Chain A
Amino acid sequence: MKEQDYDSHFSVPYLLILPSMIILTLFLYWPTIQSVILSLYRTAPFGSRRIYSGFDNYINLFTDPVYRASLVRSAVFVLITIFGGLAVSLVLSVLVNQKLKGIKIYRTIFFIPYAISPTVAGSLWVFLLNPVAGHINYFLDLLFNVQVPWLTNGFFAFIAIIIATIWKNMGFNIIFFLAGLQSIPDSVYESARIDGANAFQIFRKITVPLLSPTTFYLIIMNIIFTIFQSFGIVDIMTQGGPADATNIVIYKLYRDMFVNFRPGLAAAQSVILLILVLIVTFFHFKYGSRGVHYQ
Chain B
Amino acid sequence: MRKSRKDLINKIFTHLLLMAISFVVLMPILLAISVSFQPRNQIFSYPPSLIPNRFYFGNYINAWNLVNMDRLLLNSLLASGIVMIGKLALGVLSGYAFSHFEFKYKKTLFFAILFTLMLPMQVRVVPLFEFVSNLGLANTYSGLVLPFLASATTTFLMRQHFLTIPKSLMESAQLDGCGPFRFLFQILIPLSGPTLAGLATVNFLVMWNAYLWPLIILNSDEMKVAQQGVKMLFTSASERDWGLIMAGTIMVVIPTLVVFLLAQKFFVKGIATQGLKE
Q: Which residues of A approach B to under 8 Å, CB–CB? A: 1-7, 9-10, 12-14, 16-17, 19-24, 26-32, 34-35, 38, 92, 95-96, 98, 100, 102, 106, 108-128, 130, 132-135, 138, 142, 167, 170, 172, 175-176, 179, 221, 224-225, 228-229, 231-232, 235-236, 250, 253-254, 257-258, 263, 266-267, 270-271, 273-274, 277-278, 281
Contacts and interface: CB of A to CB of B under 8 A. Distances in A.
A228 B126 contact: no
B17 to A, nearest CB: 7
Nearest to B128: A31
Contacts of A125: 28
A40 to B, nearest CB: 13
Given A32-B119, A34-B131, A110-B25, A27 B147 contact: yes
Contacts of A117: 208-209, 211, 227, 230, 252-253, 256
A133 B122 contact: no
A235 B112 CA distance: 33
A249 B11 CA distance: 46
B18 interface: yes
Given A6-B174, A10-B103, A109-B22, A228 B48 contact: no
Contacts of A142: 47
Given A4-B174, A6-B170, A27 B128 contact: yes
B26 A109 contact: yes
Interface stretch (B64-72, B190-198, B269-277): B269-277
A19 B95 CA distance: 12
Contact of B177 (A4, A274, A281): A4
B89 to A, nearest CB: 8
Contacts of A267: 126-127
Contacts of A229: 277
Contacts of A96: 18
Interface of B: 11, 14-15, 17-18, 21-22, 25-29, 31-32, 35, 43-44, 46-48, 50, 89-91, 93-94, 96-98, 100-103, 106, 109, 112-113, 116, 118-131, 146-147, 149-150, 152, 155, 170, 174-181, 205, 208-209, 211-212, 215-216, 227, 230-231, 233-234, 240, 242, 245-246, 249, 252-253, 256-257, 259-261, 264, 267-268, 271-272, 275-277
A123 B15 CA distance: 30
A128 B149 CA distance: 36
Nearest to A280: B118
A28 B31 contact: no
A127 B242 contact: yes
Contact of A232 (B17, B130, B212, B260): B212
A29 B119 contact: yes
Given A4-B178, A120-B256, 17 more contacts: A3-B177, A9-B180, A13-B98, A17-B93, A17-B97, A20-B155, A21-B112, A22-B150, A31-B127, A116-B209, A120-B252, A122-B230, A179-B272, A224-B120, A232-B227, A254-B212, A267-B127
A133 B100 contact: no
Contacts of A22: 150
Contact of B150 (A23, A106, A257, A281): A23
B230 A119 contact: yes
Label chain A's interface by main secondary structure.
Answer: helix
Nearest to B253: A120
Contact of A221 (B106, B230, B268, B276): B276
Contacts of B178: 4
B123 A274 contact: yes
B28 A13 contact: no
A32 B277 CA distance: 17
List 9 A-B pairs, minimum CB-CB distance, nearest first. A34-B127, A117-B209, A31-B124, A23-B150, A16-B97, A13-B101, A124-B28, A115-B260, A27-B147
B146 A23 contact: yes
Contacts of B97: 12-14, 16-17
Contacts of B118: 274, 277-278, 281
Nearest to B121: A228
B99 to A, nearest CB: 10
Of B15, B25, B35, B48, most buried by chain A (CB within 10 Å of CB) is: B25
Contacts of B129: 257
A65 B14 CA distance: 51
A20 B123 CA distance: 20
Nearest to B278: A228
Given A236-B231, A281-B118, A118 B211 contact: yes
Contact of B93 (A20, A111, A115, A130): A20
Contacts of A138: 46-48
25 contacts: A6-B100, A6-B174, A6-B180, A13-B98, A13-B101, A14-B97, A17-B94, A17-B98, A20-B150, A24-B112, A95-B21, A96-B18, A98-B14, A108-B261, A110-B25, A117-B227, A117-B252, A118-B209, A119-B209, A124-B246, A133-B43, A142-B47, A179-B272, A221-B275, A270-B125
